Structure 1
Amino acid sequence: MLIDGNDSRGIDVGILAKDQYPIHDIRSHVDDGPFDNRIFSRDCPEYRFDLPEDSGLAGESLLVLVNHLKSKFGRDQATSDKRRRRQAEEVARIYRQRRDDGAEHIAVLGDFNDTPDSAPLQPLLADTDLTDIAAAPDFDDGDPDEDCPGTFGNGTKNNKIDYLLLSPSLFERTTGGGIFRKGVWGGTHGTLFPHFDTMTSKVHAASDHAAVYADIDIS
């Protein structure tokens, strides 16, 4: 499911789901903010799923907020940072509102385009009870030889810009998580970390962002 966002280039955010997790409802924030100054560069869609009837959370729902915050690129870095912070504040506000409404199982995820210690992201990373999956025990960063906390490009610390944040109820059920790099071309010759054998050049890469995942026990 994908709702067309505010980026005229067609850079949008969406979600994939299996039949076992039907989408119950959707709420878009594409029009939030003044007409000539929308809050979100793309959108912050809310996707609510019914959890399986044969699970320990039968009758409850999972809410997923998908994001792609304002990038750092551009000539006016201060303006980019200000907009990214405004977006982070709004995502945090939406999250807190849903928690106040009674939602327990919430994931906030996406490309936040900034590092964990950056000022623009603190309203979301520090001022809510969300926890990054990277804080889970035995988190696998996808590189067997090096410490690679980053999710973009070559996986360096300064390239930790993609996140999967979990509400307390979901993080308590976490059994694992990590960064899946096999679809990314690492380094000039693709030798920084293992990738699919069928990738023989950079052009074959699925993305320059590695996938972040969480294993959650709902039994």
Structure 2
Amino acid sequence: MSHTRIGSFNVENMFERPKVMGRNATKHAAPVLAAHARFNELIALETYTPEVKEELRENLVTLELLRGDRSKYAILRRIRGRFLARHRTGETSVVASGRESWVGWVELTTEPISELATRHTAQVMRDVGAHVLGVVEAESRELLHMFSASMLKHVGWTPYDEVHLIDGNDERGINVGLLTRDAHEVITIRTHVYARDTSGIVFSRDCAEYHVRTPFGPEVVVLVNHLKSKGYGSPGDPIGARRRFRQAVRIARIVNRLRDEGHEHIAVVGDLNDTADSEALRPLFQRTGLRDISEHPDFEWDHRLGTYRGVNEKGKIDYVLLTPALFAKAVGGGVFRKGVWRGPRTRNRWDVYETMTDEVHAASDHAAIYADIDWSL
């Protein structure tokens, strides 16, 4: 059968991840991640006004870097110039006048992923068996390639033929990439990390554009995304929702531009961090005609209606969206949640790997999702 399986999987890093994003740091995650992002945004300013200096100092308090360059969750890297004055009285002040007066940044400390979690991630990839797999939160191309070459063999499968990843806009090393196998060849790559609108840079990571030639003749364009998270903004997420709306608008423009160029088979895959009925994602559906593979009558949900942890409809945040022409060739799809920790849940239990006996062994908080395409239709 002339068949292509297109999948999406948030791998949540494969070898190591920021310590503050670990499973035991939930209460610290939001303020630390917000402070990290804001600090690195502010230090790029040409001039540090008194107000900017005070906000920089406040962020250092949150990051616990006021009295030292290293804390549990972050490191202040100072390469050249003087940024801070730490006084004997206990006071700390920002003495740099602006970006040109010093070189440095704040980075998040990392910790290794459980060896079992890494193996279960490989088992999910093996068991889903996607020919074209969009991955979210991968550290780098080198590590993604290493993972494919070593861990997939370790679980009795063959590595992917091609491994692609372009560094995105997120400083935490959570990027989007694409893996292909079985004569599915990437022939064109385009990044959108520099896409801007009137509010600035659009994508939190990237909307990576991959043109894939299938062994059956047709070409499919895959846009891999990881939209702005809900988790680390202000209460109610107004800032995150506005950013996701801007990102949805731009993805819709990219899809429509591709269709104007003659590309009818387009898949938008990844972690969109919102539900399909949200205002933030509305432009993505209303302006493109994209359809979620989960709408297909032969889609298999595997016990729950969401993709994130054990949440139902409100946890449906991972997608394989298809243009009408590609959806017409879909013969089904599904959610694969065997690598997602279920805890003591007694209702709607899904199967998990026997060796996954603790939450730290989970492959991901996200289930994989996939669509099956039959090119002969």
Q: Does the pair score TM above 0.5? A: yes
1:134 offset after TM fit, Å?
0.5
- State the partner residue of 2:290: 130
Aligned amino acid, residue 172 of structure 1: A
Q: Which runs of 5+ in 1 are unaligned?
A: none
Which structure has more helix as a fraction of its residues?
A: 2
Which structure has more strand as a fraction of its residues?
A: 2
1:86 offset after TM fit, Å?
0.2
Preserved contact between residue 92 and residue 128 of structure 1 (Cα < 8 Å) = yes
- State the partner residue of 1:162: 318
- State the partner residue of 1:41: 204
Higher radius of gyration, 1 or 2? 2
User: How many Å separate the matches in 2 of 1:101 and 1:61?
Assistant: 13
- State the partner residue of 1:20: 183
1:66-81 aligned within 5 A: 66-73=224-231, 74-75=233-234, 77-81=237-241
1:62-211 aligned within 5 A: 62-73=220-231, 74-75=233-234, 77-143=237-303, 148-186=304-342, 188-189=343-344, 192-211=349-368
For residues 45-83 of structure 1, the C-alpha deviation after alignment (integer angstroms, 9 at most, x for no partner) is: 10001121xx2xx1x311000000011121162111111
**Residues paired across the two proteins, number:** 209
User: How many Å separate the matches in 1 of 2:223 and 2:366?
Assistant: 19
Preserved contact between residue 190 and residue 202 of structure 1 (Cα < 8 Å) = no
User: How many Å separate the matches in 2 of 1:48 and 1:198?
Assistant: 37
1:166 offset after TM fit, Å?
0.5
User: How many Å separate the matches in 2 of 1:111 and 1:136?
Assistant: 19
User: How many Å separate the matches in 2 of 1:190 and 1:106?
Assistant: 37
TM-score, scaled to structure 1: 0.91
1:206 counterpart SS class: coil
User: How many Å separate the matches in 2 of 1:104 and 1:37?
Assistant: 30
1:15 counterpart SS class: strand
User: How many Å separate the matches in 2 of 1:138 and 1:65?
Assistant: 24
1:98 offset after TM fit, Å?
0.3
Preserved contact between residue 288 and residue 323 of structure 2 (Cα < 8 Å) = no
**Which structure has more RCO (C-alpha within 8 Å, separation ≥ 6)?**
2
Aligned amino acid, residue 314 of structure 2: N
1:149 offset after TM fit, Å?
1.3
CA-atom RMSD in angstroms = 1.7
1:98 counterpart SS class: helix
User: How many Å separate the matches in 1 of 2:285 and 2:264?
Assistant: 18
Preserved contact between residue 190 and residue 201 of structure 1 (Cα < 8 Å) = no
1:203 offset after TM fit, Å?
1.1
User: How many Å separate the matches in 2 of 1:125 and 1:110?
Assistant: 15
For residues 5-56 of structure 1, the C-alpha deviation after alignment (integer angstroms, 9 at most, x for no partner) is: 000000100011015111101000011117x93100000010001121xx2x
Identity of aligned residues (%): 51
User: How many Å separate the matches in 1 of 2:251 and 2:375?
Assistant: 25
1:49-64 aligned within 5 A: 49-52=212-215, 55=216, 58=217, 60-64=218-222
